[in-house]
Structure 1
Amino acid sequence: MLGQGFVSAAVVAASVLFVLSLGGLSNQEKAKRAVWYGIFGMLFAVFFTAAGPGIGHYWIMLPMMVIGAVIGVKLARSVVMTQMPQLIAALHSFVGLAAVFVGLNAEMERASVMAARHAQESMAQFSAFAALVATKTPDELLFLQIEVVLGVFIGAVTFTGSIIAYGKLAGKVDGKARQLPGGHRLNAAALVASLVFAIMYLQGAGIWTLLLIALLAFFIGYHLIMGIGGADMPVVVSMLNSYSGWAAAAIGFTLSNDLLIVTGALVGSSGAILSYMMCKAMNRKFINVILGGFGAKPQTVTHIEGEQLAIDAAGVAAALNAADSVILVPGYGMAVAQAQTSVSELTRKLRAQGKQVRFAIHPVAGRLPGHMNVLLAEAKVPYDLVLEMDEINAYFPNTDVVIVIGSNDIVNPSAEDDPDSPIAGMPVLEVWHAKQVFVSKRGQGTGYSGIENPLFYKENTRMLYGDAKSSIEQLIPLLKG
């Protein structure tokens, strides 16, 4: 068992590594090193926490750590990139449930200490946490109870919210925004009831009030995320990431664990900042996300005149051979088809012909921020070809050919032209300004949001139907050189 000095030093070291990891993830070239910073930071955190003072029951803890590590390795090897968003949502749920369990256990320990004090019994038989509780003044115990309430409430909201987010991302739950009769009034009533039970708990009513708070928070988490449309899940996952961080920070205060406090605050604040940035990128109000109103706007059914005109691979290849500039717009369809390697080969061949090739990345392309960037980096696409929406939109009017690969909502002109559209005001990639647009798509269905896309009916747009990977692979041998 290590002394508190070693543990305090490890807290500082792990915190620095976590900060370096978060900072490095903002840059594609530094991201791999940033991941290693995070790995070593977590190793420091786990080892020095487990070996710190007051920790025991290793015969239970070590087997559980081994089991968890084995499950983690198995998941890492089996989960493909298209499943990463729902995996992240599922992992958030574990953090939330852990916060609930820690909070309930802390209250049981506190109640045992209070009972022993009242009976003037020895506290030698109690756990290290109970011994810590026994040293607290009445004011400090009140703050402990507040921390417990916050940890249980935020953790419970995070747990059920993350489960529903997982279900929507995995296609196991209907992606449409749905709420029970009463809508947001039910959430408000549950929140008020939670506050009433919290006051009762702080006044000594007992652990049953905490259990009721947890049940109400479970409902709030479920109902909030059910009321959010599936197309908005990337923002929701980021928001739940923030919630899980604050839940971890709350239980860190409860356990007097500095590392949990620092790490939880880092995760909570970075998740909140990312959610805000994504809301701004999609022209949404941040407060609507927090209140579960995100995506709840009723959808209007718009009939689009005209028809979608199909083209074959030979026609697209002819246009590419004649073009001087090409922009590729990857989306979730590229990820599902695992077409990134084929897209990289297409890029290499076009550049070998002396053509200017760029990639246009929307902030919420795919199912989580950076999804497309990771796939393109994995396929060895040069970083300097990958441009964000704010940079690339100015180039579309002077571009000969745009190829949209499995994207839909992020290239939908309704965001600018139709004020009644559910995505009205959302910044999009303005691909329709290019001379020719080819859309690689499986069929004529709508995108993840269920909204029709007028782009597919425009005069300068042609549809290349079929699996994205096979469609791109058909183009490659037809290119010159």
Structure 2
Amino acid sequence: MHAFIEIGYLIATLSFLVGLKFMSSPKKAMTGNLIAAMGMVLAVVLTFIAALTDTVPFTNLIIMFLAIAVGTVMGKRLSDKVEMTGMPQLVSLFNATGGGCAMLLGLVEANQMDITTAVLGNKILLIAGLITGAVALTGSIIAERKLAGKVKDRRTKTVIFSARILLVLMVLLPVLYFFGFIPIGFSAFMYVLATLAMVYGVLFVLPIGGADMPVVISLLNSITGIATAFAGFVYGNKVMIAGGIFVGAAGILLTLLMCKAMNRSLLKVLAGTFKKSKNGAVEEEQEIKEISISETALSLSFAQKVAIVPGYGLAVAQAQHLCAQLQQLLEKRNCEVDYIIHPVAGRMPGHMNVLLAEANVDYSRLKEMDEGNENMAQYDTVLVIGANDVVNPAAENNPDSPVYGMPIIRTHESKQVIVMKRSMGKGYAGVQNDLFGLDNCSILFGDAKVSLQEIVNQLKLI
């Protein structure tokens, strides 16, 4: 039976690998997700079988089954109700549950562990899993609250300093404990560490805001994967180890890519540091040129090459389907239409890709930032829908700007830019967009969904 379970775990692990491979292609992503899900179901079934063969109390099996049932129902209901604008918050909540699970595993195992006979390596792994899980738990909850606009940034020196002190304590205290300088039981010590780690998770995320939020989501996801891997080592569960390593590695790689896309140091993100504008810096008054619906439709009707730059505002307006209709109308006029996607557009990595996929936009029409920038001068019209910080020329031209150094989509190099906005409000980074005052930029005010519908209607009549 043990050999049968080990072979099953191997098959489940391979399904994760195949699923990840398939997810690298938009056409095969759904198949990859199903394969990975089937592997996870297999792993859960094998875990129940292993529990039965190890004579685990029947009450524990019932609790496990009920926990899975409740989690399945709640997850299904949440995923069915969530809108695209709330997807980042849902991801953060799901990530929090993973971190919380890793933390609870550490506490439960600490209560049962015989400290006198336990291997030092297992104790270290247990502590590492508990700390990373607790940080992921509270950090993800604060990230969800910030994304929902319920918690504001706390960019103060006190918060940052406190976070650094806690980080040092979480590293130092286990060393002192193992050398006998902290005379308390192992279980009590683990509760102390869990408390410190949860507080650190809060302080870690509080100072981070604006353009750094996609990095935080990706990093917390990686931390949860690492916590799962640590727990897998403690229990000797190969599927937990493999799954945790896959998630942790993928999250770290994605985090580094996000940092590169935003010109942010990972160490600065971890420390909660941020760049401020220089003292005395004053934003220049901009001369805004407003454009009407009819003028926008006319401009698009004469264009031979159009680029659409989507942002979070597109998700808020739920206008992705109208955006796809606009693309189809323009293509019928022999106009080439591309979507240029910034790596951190939206509130999480891949947010815009998923949004456009929901509207059945062909993946071949999506261009990465670098490719779009190379051909930017060829576009007759660039339509910016809900994006702000990722098209701000201040990132390249203004050393005093907090977004300076962040790679952007250079829409200002095109022949004409039309920005769809509700108002002149600033983007998530809270800085003025220098694009709006340029000669080739016009602003189309209004709800993106309403405006796109009117543009589509007028294009049908032209």
Distance 1:395 1:24, change over 3 A: same
Aligned to 1:393: 373
Counterpart of 1:379 in structure 2: which amino acid?
Answer: A
User: What is the distance in 1 between the residues matched to 2:168 and 2:336?
Assistant: 59
Unaligned runs of 5+ in 1: 115-137
Aligned-partner SS, 1:28: coil
- Are 2:166 and 1:163 equivalent residues in the alignment? no
- Are 2:409 and 1:436 equivalent residues in the alignment? no
Q: Deviations over 1:7-53 (max 9, x none)?
A: 21121111111112222222212211111122112111211112213
Which of 351, 355, 369 lines up with 2:349 in the alignment? 369
The correspondence of residues 117-136 of structure 1 with structure 2, limited to 5 A, is none
Contact residue 443 and residue 466 of structure 1 kept, 8 A: yes
Q: Deviations over 1:91-148 (max 9, x none)?
A: 111111111211111111113x85xxxxxxxxxxxxxxxxxxxxxxx5x621111111
Structure 1 window deviating more from structure 2 (376-385 vs 186-195): it is: 186-195
Counterpart of 2:74 in structure 1: which amino acid?
Answer: I
**Per-residue deviation, 1:177:** 4.8
User: What is the distance in 2 between the residues matched to 1:163 and 1:210?
Assistant: 21
Which of 25, 28, 52 lines up with 1:27 in the alignment? 25
The correspondence of residues 312-323 of structure 1 with structure 2, limited to 5 A, is 312-323=292-303
**Per-residue deviation, 1:290:** 2.7
Aligned to 2:74: 71
Q: Deviations over 1:230-251 (max 9, x none)?
A: 3311110000001000111111
Q: Deviations over 1:35-90 (max 9, x none)?
A: 11221121112111122133442222212211111111111111112111111111
Aligned to 1:205: 184
**Per-residue deviation, 1:163:** 1.1
Aligned-partner SS, 1:51: helix
User: What is the distance in 2 between the residues matched to 1:187 and 1:406?
Assistant: 34
User: What is the distance in 2 between the residues matched to 1:65 and 1:195?
Assistant: 34
Unaligned runs of 5+ in 2: none
**Per-residue deviation, 1:264:** 0.6
User: What is the distance in 2 between the residues matched to 1:304 and 1:44?
Assistant: 61
Structure 1 window deviating more from structure 2 (430-439 vs 47-56): it is: 47-56
User: What is the distance in 2 between the residues matched to 1:23 and 1:170?
Assistant: 32
User: What is the distance in 2 between the residues matched to 1:101 and 1:41?
Assistant: 24
Which of 87, 105, 110 lines up with 1:107 in the alignment? 110
Contact residue 169 and residue 230 of structure 1 kept, 8 A: no
Counterpart of 1:102 in structure 2: which amino acid?
Answer: L
User: What is the distance in 2 between the residues matched to 1:72 and 1:284?
Assistant: 33
Structure 1 window deviating more from structure 2 (299-308 vs 15-24): it is: 299-308
Contact residue 291 and residue 443 of structure 2 kept, 8 A: yes
Counterpart of 2:44 in structure 1: which amino acid?
Answer: V
**Per-residue deviation, 1:200:** 4.3
TM-score when normalising by structure 1:
0.90
Counterpart of 2:148 in structure 1: which amino acid?
Answer: A
**Per-residue deviation, 1:273:** 0.5
User: What is the distance in 1 between the residues matched to 2:359 and 2:105?
Assistant: 43
Contact residue 298 and residue 422 of structure 1 kept, 8 A: yes
Counterpart of 1:267 in structure 2: which amino acid?
Answer: V
Aligned to 1:192: 168
Equivalent residues, number: 450
**Per-residue deviation, 1:424:** 0.8
**Per-residue deviation, 1:297:** 1.6
Which of 261, 284, 289 lines up with 2:241 in the alignment? 261
Counterpart of 1:195 in structure 2: which amino acid?
Answer: V
Counterpart of 1:21 in structure 2: which amino acid?
Answer: G
Contact residue 160 and residue 219 of structure 1 kept, 8 A: yes
Which of 192, 201, 215 lines up with 2:195 in the alignment? 215
Aligned to 1:143: 121
Contact residue 398 and residue 404 of structure 2 kept, 8 A: yes
Aligned to 1:83: 86
User: What is the distance in 1 between the residues matched to 2:439 and 2:376?
Assistant: 16
Q: CA RMSD in A?
A: 1.7
